[in-house]
Chain A
């Protein structure tokens, strides 16, 4: 990984890798799992797009393959590669270069900077929400911006999660810091509330360090500069929180993956390694508590039939399926794992008009897998997956912590 660090330090494209792709033995394991090349022949698949094409890329030459922008960034290819080729990273870097050359539409800026207008959205949610759901409005948005009108736009909650937290009765105990992420703050506040309630029920005092968007929307769109800007804003306050003795918990596996791994690995943010070592997925944390005998394990029975879907970034975290491990402790809850890869939303990917159909095709495989289980609700740790699964199935889709909260005995 030396070259990645080197590149990140310099942010100098001349230092980008030359020979790393030679680790590839052309075994095609990645071709077995790529969700994009499975549904469209427009994308040649990770073997060709990653290490294959990399051999022909020279730093000074212009990008030639517009299909590189179709990599959805799911990391599944990395996870099956027997040779340790960082395929999705090769793709991301090539995409960044391609998009730097092409220029990014205003639409991409808008999709990746929701943190700037989220609080406004929350304040004016009563006016905004009907507009966001309005068919004519969505048609105009498609026409002007290239955001597909078939895709539901997220509506806003009011007050924000942070405002709610400020007014809730704090509990004293061992401190844990919580990184909730923009979407929870302004669009899905209940996930944040449930996280706080579950942690408090286990004797913790939750603190909210000052935080901005983690930067993954920018990184996912190949905008290293903006992503780095966000990371540099976040790290000092997160560092302060962990140095005061708190662990850092995230409930969004996407934000969590970004903070725990990409801040240091791809962006080389000073202090990020120290933060990463104290950063935990919420259910990973609860599972650790259980392992040490410190998890409250008396639960109410819930008569629910649920399906659980593991988001791509959770798989990339390499911690197994901790939410499933914990939810299996709940009496009455029937829960089955959905055997499918990638929901197809890919963060902002599925909002884009030119990619919507691909996103839906990938999603259809997931929908079929969910339909086979006939669940009442679907649970998943990532807000993108929740949006997409609701869009595909019309079912109620929750974060696992919302179900866990229901089972708490006061």
Chain B
């Protein structure tokens, strides 16, 4: 089969590229080994944690870009980053929208009761930013082991309670099982009554982020009515239910648009003719299928997704054999202390301004391939708190560049 664009990788950057190209009525194939990083890492949209609270994002980011011209943000520029964010937002019409408070970063509580800066916040998590100003009650569930309400409440200096679940659900229970129950009104009736029973003078209730997968705003509203206080969700350990909501929304939209969505299989080989990629093979033993396209986008992530491989001494990109910008020797990969900024976290593929891969001296490598997301060099999303921003901006921009050619 021949396509206009083949995207390899199903994380946010790949999905964003697929959505951008399919919006322009291109024939698109997206292939991913798993479900990408959304259910692992994402709840909100981080843009750049460095921008302090109260500073408008555009002011903060444009200053930061000047000091970081090699960063993916530096290559794309403020205007296109803004375009990409509004394109992302257009996928999430009310009621489940992503918004910032006053165009700036906000601090939201995490699943261990600390605070982290983030930019676009889904409506069910939004009130978390007011937790320091309001009397809050944190809710945990007995049998759900990824969220310790008392621990979180201690950190946030408020009260926490752990609810016992109805008899049928006793024992261990997972986030997805709870999220599914939350969509049943009989379960919400039970939870609402239990919370109300424990409520003293709190005006805000914090739940782990599992208030439903399909219709979280409805779940939130209904519980608020039953309890008589405002609710918010707190991001927890994987699987991330808010991340799944993003993934599901993209998937729904892409399939609607006729994008070929191949989840569960990785590209085993790429074929080249000169400086062009002319096809990729997807192996599903014993069958190998060849797909070709005018353009390709590599969105395979760093190590978790298999975008980069590491042996004792070198880090490599296994599919297109692109050069990986990295420290000269293995001793330089890590600093001594865990919390230092490790050089390992800045490695990746170098690209030109249209995100085509290039060598250390700036030489072009492949004309019709673009590289997006966290596999890119010169960014450290862990330290920068910039993961989703980089994914959205580069995915969008690479697809736009491919379309323009």
Q: Residues on A close to B: CB < 8 A?
A: 1, 25, 27-29, 31-34, 37-39, 41, 44-45, 75, 78-84, 260-261, 264-265, 272-273, 276-277, 287-288, 291, 315-321, 324-325, 328, 336-337, 339, 365
Beyond A317-B284, A320-B262, 8 additional pairs, beta carbon < 8 A: A31-B174, A32-B239, A41-B169, A41-B177, A81-B34, A276-B287, A287-B1, A291-B1
CB distance from A15 to the nearest CB of B (A): 19
Within 8 A of A (CB), among B257-305: 258, 260-266, 282, 284-287, 289, 304-305
Q: Is the CB of A318 within 8 A of B264?
A: yes
**Known A-B contacts A29-B238, A339-B248; A261 and B285 likewise in contact (beta carbons under 8 Å):** yes
Q: Is the CB of B33 within 8 A of A29?
A: no
Q: Is the CB of A84 within 8 A of B33?
A: yes
Q: Is the CB of B264 within 8 A of A25?
A: no
- Inter-chain contacts of A337 with B (CB < 8 A): 252, 255-256
Question: Considering the complex of A and B, which 4 residue pairs feature the smallest CB-CB distances, nearest first?
Answer: A79-B264, A32-B239, A82-B34, A273-B286
Complex Cα distance, B34 from A409, in Å, reads: 41
**Known A-B contacts A79-B34, A264-B286; A38 and B263 likewise in contact (beta carbons under 8 Å):** no
- Inter-chain contacts of A83 with B (CB < 8 A): 34, 306
Q: Is the CB of A79 within 8 A of B180?
A: no
Q: Which of B244, B251, B264, B286 touches A32 (beta carbons < 8 Å)?
A: B244
B372 within 8 A of A: no
Complex Cα distance, B254 from A324, in Å, reads: 13
Nearest residue, chain A, Cβ from B184:
A364
- Inter-chain contacts of B177 with A (CB < 8 A): 37-39, 41
Complex Cα distance, B265 from A167, in Å, reads: 42
Q: Which of A41, A82, A272, A318 touches B284 (beta carbons < 8 Å)?
A: A318
Q: Is the CB of B176 within 8 A of A34?
A: yes
B116 within 8 A of A: no
**Most chain B beta-carbon neighbours within 10 Å: one of A82, A264, A325:** A82
B175 within 8 A of A: yes
CB distance from A248 to the nearest CB of B (A): 12
**Known A-B contacts A37-B177, A80-B34, A273-B286; A316 and B262 likewise in contact (beta carbons under 8 Å):** no
Q: Is the CB of B262 within 8 A of A27?
A: no
Complex Cα distance, B264 from A20, in Å, reads: 18
Nearest residue, chain A, Cβ from B266:
A84
B171 within 8 A of A: yes
- Inter-chain contacts of B304 with A (CB < 8 A): 25, 27, 82
Q: Is the CB of B255 within 8 A of A277?
A: no
Nearest residue, chain B, Cβ from A265:
B285
- Inter-chain contacts of B248 with A (CB < 8 A): 339
Q: Is the CB of B264 within 8 A of A315?
A: yes
- Inter-chain contacts of A81 with B (CB < 8 A): 33-34
Q: Is the CB of A31 within 8 A of B175?
A: yes
Proximity bits, B225-238, A CB within 8 Å = 1, else 0: 00000000000011
Nearest residue, chain A, Cβ from B169:
A41
- Inter-chain contacts of B171 with A (CB < 8 A): 41
For the complex, count residues of B whose C-beta is within 8 A of A: 46
CB distance from B91 to the nearest CB of A (A): 14
- Inter-chain contacts of B287 with A (CB < 8 A): 260-261, 276-277
Complex Cα distance, B175 from A317, in Å, reads: 28
Complex Cα distance, B266 from A336, in Å, reads: 27
Q: Is the CB of B306 within 8 A of A82?
A: yes
Q: Which of A29, A261, A324, A339 touches B34 (beta carbons < 8 Å)?
A: A29
- Inter-chain contacts of B363 with A (CB < 8 A): none
Q: Is the CB of A37 within 8 A of B176?
A: yes
Q: Residues on B close to A: CB < 8 A?
A: 1-2, 29, 33-36, 39-40, 143, 169-177, 180, 237-239, 244, 248, 251-252, 255-256, 258, 260-266, 282, 284-287, 289, 304-306
Q: Which of B169, B238, B262 touches A28 (beta carbons < 8 Å)?
A: B238
Q: Is the CB of A44 within 8 A of B286?
A: no
Complex Cα distance, B175 from A324, in Å, reads: 32
**Known A-B contacts A82-B304, A315-B263, A321-B255; A38 and B180 likewise in contact (beta carbons under 8 Å):** yes
**Known A-B contacts A32-B39, A41-B173, A291-B1; A82 and B305 likewise in contact (beta carbons under 8 Å):** yes
- Inter-chain contacts of B289 with A (CB < 8 A): 319
**Known A-B contacts A27-B40, A81-B34, A82-B33; A261 and B261 likewise in contact (beta carbons under 8 Å):** no
- Inter-chain contacts of B33 with A (CB < 8 A): 81-82, 84
Q: Is the CB of A339 within 8 A of B174?
A: no
Q: Can you list 7 A-B contacts with CB-CB less than 8 angstroms, sorted by A residue number? A: A28-B39, A32-B39, A39-B177, A83-B34, A318-B265, A318-B284, A321-B261
CB distance from B273 to the nearest CB of A (A): 21
Complex Cα distance, B288 from A260, in Å, reads: 12
CB distance from B216 to the nearest CB of A (A): 15
CB distance from B169 to the nearest CB of A (A): 6
- Inter-chain contacts of A79 with B (CB < 8 A): 34-35, 263-264
CB distance from B294 to the nearest CB of A (A): 15
CB distance from B265 to the nearest CB of A (A): 4
**Known A-B contacts A29-B34, A41-B169; A320 and B285 likewise in contact (beta carbons under 8 Å):** no
Nearest residue, chain B, Cβ from A76:
B264
CB distance from B20 to the nearest CB of A (A): 19
Complex Cα distance, B282 from A261, in Å, reads: 14
Q: Is the CB of A264 within 8 A of B285?
A: yes
- Inter-chain contacts of B263 with A (CB < 8 A): 79-80, 315
**Most chain A beta-carbon neighbours within 10 Å: one of B2, B237, B260, B282:** B260
CB distance from A6 to the nearest CB of B (A): 15
Complex Cα distance, B260 from A260, in Å, reads: 21
Q: Is the CB of A339 within 8 A of B252?
A: yes
Q: Is the CB of A28 within 8 A of B286?
A: no
- Inter-chain contacts of B262 with A (CB < 8 A): 318-320
Complex Cα distance, B68 from A4, in Å, reads: 49
Nearest residue, chain A, Cβ from B285:
A265
Q: Is the CB of A291 within 8 A of B264?
A: no
Q: Is the CB of B239 within 8 A of A291?
A: no
- Inter-chain contacts of A31 with B (CB < 8 A): 174-176, 239
**Most chain B beta-carbon neighbours within 10 Å: one of A1, A39, A277, A339:** A339
Nearest residue, chain B, Cβ from A324:
B255
- Inter-chain contacts of A324 with B (CB < 8 A): 255
CB distance from B241 to the nearest CB of A (A): 8
- Inter-chain contacts of B286 with A (CB < 8 A): 261, 264-265, 272-273, 276-277
Q: Is the CB of A291 within 8 A of B2?
A: yes
- Inter-chain contacts of A75 with B (CB < 8 A): 264
Complex Cα distance, B60 from A267, in Å, reads: 60
- Inter-chain contacts of B305 with A (CB < 8 A): 82
Nearest residue, chain B, Cβ from A37:
B174
Complex Cα distance, B237 from A328, in Å, reads: 40
**Known A-B contacts A79-B263, A82-B304, A82-B306; A27 and B176 likewise in contact (beta carbons under 8 Å):** no
Q: Is the CB of A325 within 8 A of B172?
A: no
Complex Cα distance, B256 from A83, in Å, reads: 28
Nearest residue, chain B, Cβ from A45:
B174
- Inter-chain contacts of B260 with A (CB < 8 A): 320-321, 325
Complex Cα distance, B137 from A181, in Å, reads: 58
CB distance from A34 to the nearest CB of B (A): 7
